[in-house]
Structure 1
Amino acid sequence: MNRVFLILSLLLIVAVGVAYYVLGGFKQAEVKLETTAQPIFLAGSYFEGAGNSEEFGNLTRKAYEIRSSGKLRGTFGNIFYNDPASSSEAAKVFVGLVVDDTISQQLPAGYRYRAFPAGQRVLHATIEASYLVAPTNFTLA
């Protein structure tokens, strides 16, 4: 009986490891300093508070739902105005989607635009992973 539980436990551990790998849990974020060649537009909502709060998670889920429902076309994007991991401040984040322009799509209720003008230096971080396993924070050097 103990041997059966041991084998089932090992199979479960392997299955969880494979699922974590497939979702992108072992991938590292790619961080680079860029100068924007053209303006970058983000559609989303501003958040200020604890980075691990329920409200921050809800804004991320809302952006996912808006994107997957087709209400707004774009890729996920956040603007972090501070680094709450290295300070005692609350997180100041604009959560939403990077969109092509500000006129071709109608914004969902509660969404606003933020923009980076062309020629501005930005720190661009990307990761190819599900939001379920993506790192909750990482330090930028």
Structure 2
Amino acid sequence: MKKLLYVMAGFAILLMVFYTYIGGFTEPEVTMATSQAMYVAGAPFEGSVEDEAMGQLFQRAAKVLDQKELEGMLGNIYYNDPDKSGDSIRAFIGIIIPDSSVVLPSGYTLRTVPGGRRVVRAEVNASVAMSPRKLYAAVFDYAEEEKLKLEEFYVEWFPADDQGVLEVPVKQ
């Protein structure tokens, strides 16, 4: 019985170390900012967040970066909140690129995110798996505390494997 207790304690410690490593205890930094114009190369998606096709678009974006078809960072635009729309999402999944004049891979189109907008911006140092949940919760909590109304337009990007950024425009 004592041995089982030690094994369980060791397992719990390993889980805590792993959770810390992927940024589980890291809190996002939330600020008001002015957005910069961005170019997103990718593909549209509309459907359930559980749809396999959405996962394939994320995998394709990672592959495009890995094979150096485009230079940039993983980035996505979401046009609605799936929590408010019954698991249905409208998105544009792809890569934030520095220049709009690049040749796009087959099947990709270009969308421009306008700059100069007042946004709530959240940044966190956590894995790509942990970042979105932390970022969205932080932005929504901040908006509620500050009594801000947000647009349903979310731009997220991942400058590094362990960093995520989210910007949501404030309704004027």
**How far is 1:58 from its partner?**
2.4
Mapped to 2, the partners of 1:136 and 1:54 lie a distance apart of 20
Q: Where does structure 2 lack aligned partners over 5 or more consecutive residues?
A: 144-172
Q: Per-residue displacement from partner, 1:21-42 (whole Å, max 9, x unpaired)?
A: 11122334445454334x3101
Tell me, yes or no, if the aligned pair for 2:49 and 2:87 is still in contact at 8 Å.
no
The residue number in structure 2 matching 1:7 is: 6
Q: Give, as a single letter, the amino acid of the residue that structure 1 aligns with 2:75.
A: G
The residue number in structure 2 matching 1:90 is: 88
**How far is 1:83 from its partner?**
1.1
**How far is 1:88 from its partner?**
2.9
CA distance 1:62–1:14, shift in 2 (3 Å): farther
Mapped to 2, the partners of 1:51 and 1:32 lie a distance apart of 28
3-state SS of the aligned residue for 1:41? strand
Mapped to 2, the partners of 1:89 and 1:4 lie a distance apart of 45
| TM score, norm. by length of structure 2 | 0.66
CA distance 1:10–1:89, shift in 2 (3 Å): closer
Identity %: 33
Residue 41 (structure 1) aligned to one of 36, 39, 45: 39
Which structure is higher in RCO with an 8 Å CA cutoff and minimum separation 6?
1
Range that drifts further, 5-14 or 52-61: 52-61
3-state SS of the aligned residue for 1:132? coil
The residue number in structure 1 matching 2:128 is: 131
CA distance 1:112–1:56, shift in 2 (3 Å): same
Q: RMSD value over aligned CA atoms?
A: 2.5
- Residue 65 (1) aligns with residue 91 (2): no
CA distance 1:51–1:21, shift in 2 (3 Å): same
Residue 114 (structure 1) aligned to one of 103, 111, 115: 111
Q: Where does structure 1 lack aligned partners over 5 or more consecutive residues?
A: none
The residue number in structure 2 matching 1:101 is: 99
Aligned length: 138
Mapped to 1, the partners of 2:93 and 2:120 lie a distance apart of 16
3-state SS of the aligned residue for 1:83? coil
CA distance 1:123–1:59, shift in 2 (3 Å): farther
| TM score, norm. by length of structure 1 | 0.78
Q: Give, as a single letter, the amino acid of the residue that structure 2 aligns with 1:129.
A: A
- Residue 56 (1) aligns with residue 73 (2): no
- Residue 16 (1) aligns with residue 23 (2): no
